[in-house]
A and B are shown apart, each in its own frame.
Chain A
């Protein structure tokens, strides 16, 4: 019984060790980078984030609109404008999230060297490897 367990667990340990080592080497080599944040969490967390990011921007937009209308006595106008801006901001959030431009507000600049967004490129490479 115990010997049955020994073999696979040692192999498993070896595999995990080498995986951890290669990951460590990779991150040391890279320094500051943004890899591994999209792949690290499962689909559920990702889906949850898309929902809240869209709604949160709408809430902020509508909130600003209602407050401005309340102060300036211009009823529906600011609400309409900021509702649309909030919706746009929500979609912008999601666009960035899905394209891997970084998880939240603020653009992560496309690489200046001209080889495309970092996360995207690595994703493509990884997918290629998996297929091959």
Chain B
């Protein structure tokens, strides 16, 4: 029987080598391209008619738009509007990537730490640049909690810096661990169905329930990813 971890294997589809660096087009890259195309198609086709009374597709697009817009307004406020395209793209990419991974025989690129870490690193670096652009050197006051007595500075500043640096790690590990654990669990329990014969009904019921849970987690993690991005933007804009 196939290993439960086989689903995470990356294999090149079009081998490519640029100056000694392996830049093959892999199944991971393929699914990212599919996600981007689906995402663009969803929004473009959904809003093609732009009717006042939305049809089904248009309603779905409008719901996702308003969901992210509300998220951004609730956490950042009106200044957050200019970051809407970024957060919306990120949310749709992660959400569709997670959901695409739930279809049978597909590949979940969000279950690879390097993918989620790259996303988190883009957010982290972007937000840090934003903070410097908005506040200049004043940004460093971010690492000093207000009202700290001077003797505590040497202790508190390293803690604050570590806490700040832990953001991209926790952001990426959360998404990656959820997807990896969920998909592995699904495969392991699905393996029991064939092994147990008639009693396999039990794990089968369990797998059905778990599939529902996984879809919920796909939404939840995309949501958490988006809301944390909003909060980081808010922190960079307003410091404290």
On A, residues with C-beta under 8 Å from B are 27, 31-37, 40-42, 44-45, 48-49, 52-53, 55-57, 59-61, 64, 82, 85-86, 88-90, 92-93, 102-109
B16 at the interface (CB under 8 A from A): no
Chain B residue with Cβ nearest A36: B74
B115 at the interface (CB under 8 A from A): no
Q: Can you list 20 A-B pairs with a CB-CB distance of less than 8 A?
A: A27-B73, A34-B75, A34-B234, A36-B74, A37-B74, A52-B174, A56-B169, A64-B162, A82-B158, A89-B159, A89-B160, A92-B159, A92-B160, A104-B163, A105-B160, A105-B164, A105-B167, A107-B146, A107-B240, A108-B240
Give the complex CA separation of A3 and B235 in angstroms. 51
The 4 closest A-B CB pairs, nearest first, are: A32-B77, A56-B170, A56-B169, A89-B162
On B, residues with C-beta under 8 Å from A are 70, 73-79, 142, 145-146, 158-160, 162-167, 169-170, 173-174, 177-178, 220, 223-224, 227-228, 231-232, 234-235, 238-240
Give the complex CA separation of A108 and B73 in angstroms. 18
Given contacts A89-B166, A109-B240, contact A49 B75 (CB under 8 A): no
Q: Is the interface of B mostly helix, strand, loop or mixed?
A: helix
Residues of A within 8 A of B78 (CB): 31-32
B235 in contact with A106 (CB, 8 Å): yes
Give the complex CA separation of A35 and B76 in angstroms. 11
Out of B74, B159, B170, B232, which one reaches A53, CB within 8 Å? B170
A53 in contact with B166 (CB, 8 Å): yes
Q: Is the interface of A mostly helix, strand, loop or mixed?
A: helix
A35 in contact with B165 (CB, 8 Å): no
Most B Cβ at <10 Å: residue of A53, A88, A103, A106: A106
Given contacts A59-B169, A64-B162, contact A106 B239 (CB under 8 A): yes
Give the complex CA separation of A49 and B166 in angstroms. 12
B162 in contact with A86 (CB, 8 Å): yes
A-B contacts besides A56-B170, A89-B159, 14 pairs, CB < 8 Å: A27-B73, A27-B74, A45-B223, A45-B224, A52-B170, A53-B170, A64-B165, A86-B162, A86-B166, A103-B228, A104-B167, A105-B160, A106-B160, A109-B240
B145 in contact with A107 (CB, 8 Å): yes
B224 in contact with A41 (CB, 8 Å): yes
A41 in contact with B220 (CB, 8 Å): yes
Given contacts A106-B239, A107-B145, contact A90 B166 (CB under 8 A): yes
B164 in contact with A61 (CB, 8 Å): no
Out of B142, B224, B240, which one reaches A49, CB within 8 Å? B224
